[in-house]
Amino acid sequence: MKQRLIALSVAASLGALPAAPALAQARVSDGVVRIGVLTDLSGTYSDLSGQGSVVATKMAVEDFIAADKPAFKIEVLSADHQNKGDIASNKAREWFEKDGVDMVTDLVTTSTALAVMKIAKEKNRIAIVNGAASTRITNEDCNDVSVHYTYDTYALANGTGRAVVKQGGKSWFFITADYAFGHSLEKDTSDVVKAAGGSVLGSVRHPFPGNDFSSFLLNAQSSGAQVIGLANAGNDTINSIKQAAEFGITPKQTLAGLLMFITDIHSLGLKTAQNMYLTEGFYWDLNEQTRAWSKRFFDRHKRMPTMVQAGQYSSTMHYLKAVKATGSDDTAVVMARMKKTPINDFFATKGQIRDDGRMVHDMYLLQVKKPAESKYPWDYYNVRATIPGNEAFQPLSASRCPLIRK
């Protein structure tokens, strides 16, 4: 403890100076930085995160070693949390206690993220959440060792909800997955819709995972709402969209997918998904930088990256740079550095991690292209708007995070 305190004070006093490599080696515990990618390797979310997230993390490590030539070694571990909180927390505990893991990342469902954040706090290690969506991560359950990096339900609701109301979709009906994430997405979107002058005519909650959505779609149809908001994810969303087309609901009523990833669009096909609005934190075809990185990712993974996988690379790189700059893998030191340093890479411009752990960066309002507009593989979106970070995410003034003193 005493040693750590001394190390801390030295680190603090040297914080402003570029760290000497010799010192750095001395202060990274056992000379190795270990990153644990805890993700869904086999279940519903394994396409949007999963093996792709492991690949992105390894790319970040390789690129970092090539460019920065750190004095410490870096190891990447990975495991399947099967989207279950207890499995995730057991694995995280084992990694922290036995394997000396410094940072756990990805964490695809809210339950796994919250469970691991709690253990990280207890063991004083870092958790960087890229997969999970709930705003609880940076509100009620926030802590000072966790970062929520890629997106959250607030930003998605805000982007898609507001844009669709602006386009004239004033009346809404929700088809909601009946668990915490679905409820939170429905609530966040309803608030946005009402604030923008729209109205919510009703909602129906379906069991998770669902299979046949036709009866719920029939309810949505008879509500007469202009917009049907899909507050679900993964295969539930895909099947809802497919069956809405089958029952002639689209294009008479508009669908708004509130949590969709490019892998969902890929498997649905443009013919079924065309014209839908959605919000993402990243699209591979935004500019030269995003294309260059994404093509490298594609070469290794045979699929274009989702925002989660891109965020995985960016956050890992940001973490490693903070370790190098401070010459330490101490949680408080690295967290302070990560929060102080803005993020500028292919994923984010002027990204900033706030005190509640929220990484604030621009989000993109996207519309799915018509089949005829798509010129090459994975050419799926028209970018309709760039939503500046400070508008996309919940403002700190509305935060329910106990760390934020108002």
Partner 1 sequence: MEIFGVSLQGLAGQLLIGLINGSFYAVLSLGLAVIFGQLNIINFAHGALYMMGAFLAWIGLTHFGINYWAALLLVPLLIGLLGIVIERALLRWLYQLDHLYGLLLTFGLALIIEGLFRYYFGISGESYEAPEALRGGVDLGFMFLPLYRGWVVVASLVVCLATWFIIERTKLGAYLRAGTENPKLVQALGINVPLMITLTYGFGVALAGFAGVLAAPILQVNPLMGSNLIIVVFAVVVIGGMGSILGSIVTGLGLGLVEALTRVVYPEASAVVIFVIMVIVLLVRPAGLFGREN
Residues in the site for partner 1, rule: CB under 8 A? 42-48, 50, 178, 204-207, 209, 211-212, 214-216, 218-219, 222, 234-235, 238-239, 242-243, 246-248, 263-264, 266-269, 271-272, 303
- Kindly state the smallest distance separating residue 175's Cβ from partner 1, in Å: 10
CB closer to partner 1 out of 184 and 328: 184
CB closer to partner 1 out of 222 and 344: 222
Handedness of CA 268, 44, 143, 34 (dihedral sign): negative
CB closer to partner 1 out of 170 and 266: 266
CB closer to partner 1 out of 3 and 211: 211
Other CB atoms within a 10 A radius of the CB of residue 99 amount to 12
- Kindly state the smallest distance separating residue 177's Cβ from partner 1, in Å: 11
Cis peptide before 371 (omega within 30 of 0): no
CB closer to partner 1 out of 121 and 242: 242
CB closer to partner 1 out of 215 and 289: 215
- Kindly state the smallest distance separating residue 205's Cβ from partner 1, in Å: 5
CB closer to partner 1 out of 69 and 271: 271
- Kindly state the smallest distance separating residue 127's Cβ from partner 1, in Å: 24
- Kindly state the smallest distance separating residue 38's Cβ from partner 1, in Å: 18
- Kindly state the smallest distance separating residue 223's Cβ from partner 1, in Å: 10
- Kindly state the smallest distance separating residue 207's Cβ from partner 1, in Å: 3
CB closer to partner 1 out of 178 and 345: 178
CA distance 292 to 289: 5
> What is the 3-class SS of the chain, one letter each residue?
CHHHHHHHHHHHHHCCCCCCHHHHHHHCHHHEEEEEEEECCCCCCCCCCHHHHHHHHHHHHHHHHHHHCCCCEEEEEEEECCCCHHHHHHHHHHHHHCCCCCEEEECCCHHHHHHHHHHHHHHCCEEEECCCCCHHHHCCCCCCCEEECCCCHHHHHHHHHHHHHHCCCCEEEEEEECCHHHHHHHHHHHHHHHHCCCEEEEEEEECCCCCCCHHHHHHHHHHCCCEEEEECCHHHHHHHHHHHHHCCCCCCCEEEECCCCHHHHHHHCHHHHCCCEEEECCCCCCCHHHHHHHHHHHHHHCCCCCHHHHHHHHHHHHHHHHHHHHCCCCHHHHHHHHHHCCECCCCCCCEEECCCCEEECCEEEEEECCHHHCCCCCCCEEEEEEECHHHHCCCHHHCCCCCCCC
Written as six digits, the tokens of 317 are 């790189």
Angle at 25 between CA 343 and CA 323, to 5 degrees: 15
- Kindly state the smallest distance separating residue 44's Cβ from partner 1, in Å: 6
CB closer to partner 1 out of 220 and 353: 220
CB closer to partner 1 out of 161 and 234: 234
- Kindly state the smallest distance separating residue 276's Cβ from partner 1, in Å: 14
Angle at 219 between CA 216 and CA 222, to 5 degrees: 150
- Kindly state the smallest distance separating residue 259's Cβ from partner 1, in Å: 13
